[in-house]
C-alpha cells in the first residue's frame, strides 16, 4: 500500500468535518436543552420557594400554607413533563411539514419565549410566569428530543450512524452536567442570580439560530419527502464530501424506490400495520424502560448515600457534579464503542450490569450501618449503575428508534416513542415517592425486574443493526415476522391434525 492510499483510507475512517459540525449545531439546541432544563431547576429550589412565599404574602397579606407552596413548586417542576409530551406529539408532524432542520430552528421560539418569561418572573412579581416558562421549555425539549435524533440519523452515513446517533446521549448528559456546574454557588447558584440562571436556556437557542442555518436539510427528507434530487446531492456533498456522497445517494434512491407508493405515515397507522409490529413494540418497550429502569431512583438516593459516607452537606453539589461528569464520559465512551461492539451488545450489557447493580445496591442499603465501609460500597454501586446506563440504554435507545423504521414511518415512530417516554417520565415522577414510602430501599427489586426483563427481550427479539442500511434492517424484521407466523401456523396445523 502506498502512502497516499494509506492516508486516503484513514480519511475514510473519520466523518466529514462538516457532518460533525452539523450534528453539534443540531444537538446544542436539541437534546442539550432537555438535559440542561432537567438539571438547572434543582439549584434554585429554596430561592424560588422563598420568592413564591414572599409574593403570596404581598398579594394576600397572609403566609402561604405548606401544602399550597408544595403544590405550586411541584407544578413548576412537573409542568416541564407536560410540555415535553405536547412537544413529542407535534414534533413528528412538524418535521414532515417544515423539514428536520426547519423544525429545529422554529423550535427555538419556545426556548426564547421561555427564557423571557422565566427572567421576568422575579422583577414583575408573578410566579405564574415560572409555570408558563417551564411549560414552554418542556415543549422545546419534547420537539428537540423527537426531531434532533431524526436529523442525525438521516444525515449520517451508514458506517457512522451509531457514532452520530450517540450525539443525542452525549449532549443530554452534557446539558445535565452544564446545568449542575452553572447552578453552583460560585457561578449562578446564589439567591440573587436565580432568575438569570433559569433564563440561560436562551443561550443554546441563540447558538443554534446562528450556526445551524449554515448546514443543509436532511438529504433523505429532500429526496424522499420533497423529491428534490438536486438539493439532496448538494446536501450530501456538503455533509459527506465529494468522494463519500455517491454511495449514500444510491442508498437513498433505493429507499425512495422502495417507498414510491407510500406517503408519510400517521402514528395510528403504525399500530394497525402488522409489518412494523415488532419494531413498534420494541421502541415502546425500550422507551418505557429508559424511564422505569431506576436511574431516577439512583439520583434520589444519591444525596442520602453521600451523607452516610460522611460528605458535608455543602460539598454534596460538587459530588453530584462528579456523577454528572461520569455519565457524560460514559456517553462519550459508548460513542467510541458502538460501531465496533454493536448496538445489541451495548444495550443488553447495559441492562445486565444495571440488574447486577440493583441487587448489590439493595444489599448495601440494607446493611448500611453494619460497617463504615458499606456506604462507600453504596457509592460504588451508584457510580456503576450510572455508568451502565450511559453505556447502553442512555445512548442506544434513540439510535434504534431511527434504525428500525424507514423514511415514511420514522417521524410517526418518533412521535410514539417520544410520547411514551414523556408519559413514563411523568408516571415515575408521580408514583416513585409512593414506591419509596412502601418499599424503601427494596424499591430497587422492582427496577431489577424491569432491567432483567428488557435485557431478555432484546436478546430474543432485537437484531443487530450495525453497518446495515434501513432497508436491510426492515427486511430482517420482515423475515423474522414471517418465520414467527410460519411457526404459529405450523403449530396450529399440528394441533388440528392431532385433534382429528
**CA-CA distance, 41 to 179, in Å (whole number)?**
8
Query: Is 269-480 in the same CATH topology as 14-215?
Result: yes
Q: What is the pLDDT of residues 114-129, one digit of tens each?
A: 999 999 999 998 989 9
Residue 3: is its pLDDT beyond 50? no
Is the confidence at residue 78, as pLDDT, over 50? yes
How many other C-beta atoms are found inside a 10 Å radius of the C-beta of residue 462?
22
Q: How confident is the model at residue 311 (pLDDT cuts 50, 70, 90)?
A: confident
Helix 316-341 vs helix 161-182: crossing angle, to nearest 10:
180
Q: Would you place residue 488 in the very low, low, confident or very high pLDDT band (cuts 50, 70, 90)? A: very low
Please determine, for residue 213, whether its predicted confidence score (pLDDT) is greater than 60: yes
Q: Indicate the domain borders of the chain.
A: 14-215, 269-480
Q: Using an 8 Å Cβ cutoff, are 448 and 360 in contact? A: no
Give exposure, 292-325, as e/b (b: 16+ Cβ within 10 Å).
bbbbebbbebbeebbebbebeeeeebebbbebbb
List the one residue out of 233, 282, 246, 240 whose CA is nearest residue 397: 282
**Comparison of pLDDT for 61 and 87, the residue scoring more:** 87
Nearby residues of 205 by Cβ (< 8 Å), 6 or more positions away: 29, 33, 108, 111, 112, 115, 140
Q: Average pLDDT in the 211-221 region?
A: 92
Architecture, CATH, for domain 269-480: Up-down Bundle (1.20)
Q: What's the average model confidence in pLDDT over 127-152?
A: 92
Per CATH, the architecture of 14-215 is what? Answer: Up-down Bundle (1.20)
Angle formed by the axes of helices 100-124 and 128-155, nearest 10°: 160
| Cα distance between residue 327 and residue 333, in whole Å | 10
* High-pLDDT (> 90) share of the chain, %: 25
User: What is the structure's pLDDT at 14?
Assistant: 66
Cβ–Cβ < 8 Å for 99, 90: no
The tens digit of pLDDT for each residue in 476-486 reads 777 765 555 55
Rounded to the nearest 5 degrees, what angle is found at the Cα of 437, between the Cα atoms of 436 and 443?
30
Tally Cβ neighbours within 10 Å of residue 464. Answer: 13
pLDDT of residue 303: 67
pLDDT at 484: 55
Q: Where are the alpha helices (DSSP H) in 218-293?
A: 219-220, 229-258, 267-271, 277-292
Mean pLDDT of the chain: 83
End-to-end CA, the chain: 70
Please say if the pLDDT value at position 342 is more than 90: no
pLDDT digits (tens, 9 = 90+) for 261-292: 666 778 888 888 888 888 899 999 999 998 88
The answer, yes or no, to whether residue 11 has pLDDT greater than 50, is: no
Q: Is the dihedral of CA 407, 412, 413, 419 positive or negative?
A: positive
Average the pLDDT over each of 20-34, 84-98, 195-209, 323-337 and give the range with the smallest value: 323-337
What's the CA gap between 384 and 361, in Å, rounded?
10
pTM: 0.83
Asked if pLDDT for residue 493 goes beyond 70, the answer is no
Comparing CA positions, the residue from 201, 203, 198, 204 lying closest to residue 183 is 198
> Distance between CA 339 and CA 159 in Å, rounded?
8
How large a percentage of the chain has pLDDT more than 70? 89
Higher pLDDT pick, 330 / 349:
349
Does the pLDDT at position 491 exceed 50?
A: no
Amino acid at each position: 500500500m502506498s502512502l497516499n492510499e494509506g492516508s486516503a483510507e484513514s480519511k475514510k475512517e473519520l466523518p466529514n468535518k462538516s457532518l460533525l459540525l452539523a450534528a453539534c449545531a443540531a444537538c446544542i439546541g436539541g437534546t442539550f436543552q432537555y438535559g440542561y432544563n432537567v438539571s438547572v431547576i434543582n439549584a434554585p429550589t429554596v430561592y424560588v420557594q422563598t420568592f413564591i412565599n414572599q409574593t403570596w404574602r404581598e398579594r394576600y397579606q397572609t403566609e402561604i400554607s405548606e401544602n399550597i407552596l408544595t403544590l405550586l413548586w411541584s407544578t413548576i417542576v412537573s409542568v416541564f413533563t407536560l410540555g415535553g409530551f405536547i412537544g413529542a406529539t407535534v414534533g413528528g408532524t412538524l418535521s414532515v411539514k417544515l423539514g428536520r432542520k426547519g423544525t429545529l430552528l422554529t423550535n427555538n421560539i419556545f426556548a426564547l419565549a421561555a427564557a423571557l418569561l422565566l427572567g421576568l418572573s422575579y422583577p414583575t412579581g408573578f410566579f405564574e410566569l415560572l409555570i408558563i416558562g417551564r411549560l414552554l421549555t418542556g415543549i422545546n425539549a419534547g420537539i428537540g428530543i423527537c426531531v434532533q435524533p431524526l436529523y442525525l440519523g438521516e444525515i449520517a452515513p451508514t458506517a457512522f450512524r451509531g457514532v452520530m446517533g450517540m450525539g443525542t446521549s452525549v449532549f443530554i448528559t452534557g446539558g445535565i452536567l452544564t446545568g449542575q456546574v452553572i447552578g453552583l454557588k460560585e457561578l449562578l447558584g446564589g439567591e440573587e442570580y436565580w432568575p438569570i440562571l433559569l433564563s440561560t436556556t436562551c443561550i443554546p437557542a441563540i447558538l443554534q439560530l446562528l450556526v445551524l442555518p449554515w448546514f443543509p436539510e436532511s438529504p433523505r427528507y429532500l429526496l424522499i419527502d420533497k423529491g428534490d434530487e438536486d438539493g439532496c446531492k448538494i446536501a450530501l456533498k456538503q455533509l459527506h464530501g465529494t468522494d463519500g456522497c455517491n454511495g449514500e445517494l444510491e442508498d437513498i434512491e433505493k429507499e425512495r424506490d422502495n417507498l414510491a407508493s407510500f406517503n408519510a405515515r400517521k402514528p395510528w397507522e403504525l399500530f394497525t400495520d402488522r409489518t412494523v409490529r415488532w419494531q413498534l413494540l420494541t421502541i415502546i418497550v425500550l422507551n418505557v424502560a429508559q424511564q422505569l429502569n431506576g436511574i431516577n431512583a439512583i439520583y434520589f438516593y444519591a444525596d442520602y448515600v453521600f451523607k452516610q459516607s460522611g460528605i458535608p452537606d455543602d460539598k454534596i453539589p460538587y459530588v453530584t457534579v462528579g456523577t454528572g461528569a461520569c455519565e457524560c464520559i460514559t456517553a462519550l465512551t459508548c460513542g467510541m464503542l458502538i460501531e465496533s461492539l454493536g448496538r445489541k451488545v451495548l444495550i443488553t450489557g447495559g441492562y445486565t450490569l444495571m440488574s447486577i447493580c440493583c441487587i448489590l445496591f439493595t444489599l448495601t442499603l440494607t446493611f448500611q450501618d453494619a460497617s463504615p465501609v458499606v456506604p462507600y460500597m453504596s457509592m460504588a454501586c451508584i457510580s456503576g449503575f450510572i455508568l451502565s446506563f450511559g453505556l447502553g440504554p442512555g445512548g442506544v435507545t434513540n439510535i434504534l428508534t431511527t434504525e428500525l423504521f424507514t423514511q415514511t414511518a420514522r417521524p410517526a415512530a418518533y412521535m410514539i416513542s417520544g410520547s411514551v417516554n414523556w408519559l413514563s417520565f411523568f408516571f415515575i415522577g408521580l408514583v416513585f415517592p409512593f414506591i419509596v414510602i412502601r418499599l424503601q430501599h427494596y424499591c430497587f427489586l422492582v427496577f431489577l425486574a424491569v432491567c432483567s426483563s428488557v435485557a431478555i427481550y432484546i436478546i430474543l427479539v432485537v437484531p443487530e443493526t450495525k453497518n446495515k442500511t434501513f432497508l436491510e434492517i426492515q427486511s430482517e424484521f420482515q423475515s423474522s415476522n414471517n418465520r414467527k407466523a410460519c411457526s404459529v401456523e405450523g403449530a396450529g396445523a399440528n394441533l388440528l391434525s392431532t385433534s382429528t
